[in-house]
Copies of this chain bind each other. A is one copy, B any other.
Amino acid sequence: MESTVFSDEYFMQEAIKEAKKAFDADEVPVGAVIVCNNKIIARAHNLTERLNDVTAHAEMQAITSASNFLNGKYLDGCILYVTLEPCVMCAGAIAWAQFSKLVYGASDTKRGFNLLSEKKILHPKTEIISGILKEECAVLIKTFFQQKR
């Protein structure tokens, strides 16, 4: 029996589940999963409020978790799915980790790494795909900040 190969949309749905956990915890709702060989090896959501720590973005925690799982700091066989375009800090971490692929949902026009030059930040081997389930990803963020105003 052949194993099912899941789509980018499937894994982005899993990242959205993480973002919803952040939303419910009154955190800026961003979620991430890391996939290796078609399996999720790390899940995380933003915890900057709970941990009182600006470095506790979903991507950063997912990277730490995946590295721990794989017992290696390079994630060059892995794909990172994240509901929002990574910020510069997270893009820097994604570069160090040498991901094979970055897939993000909604764009972040204020803090996203594309405001700088993505080619210079990310590792040259990292493929980038954006816009996967972007409406579903964006609506969480929009709703969150509308409630705050």
Contact = CB atoms under 8 A, between A and B. Distances in A.
A41 interface: no
A73 B92 contact: no
Contact of A68 (B53, B64, B74, B90): B53
Given A116-B116, A116-B121, A55 B93 contact: yes
Contacts of A87: 92, 96
A53 B63 contact: yes
Contacts of A49: 73
Contacts of A54: 63, 67, 73-74, 93, 96-97
Dominant SS at the A interface?
Answer: helix
Nearest to A122: B88
Nearest to A59: B55
B95 A92 contact: no
Contacts of A117: 116
A45 to B, nearest CB: 16
A148 interface: no
Interface string A83-95: 0000111111101
7 contacts: A51-B67, A51-B73, A52-B68, A53-B67, A87-B92, A88-B121, A89-B89
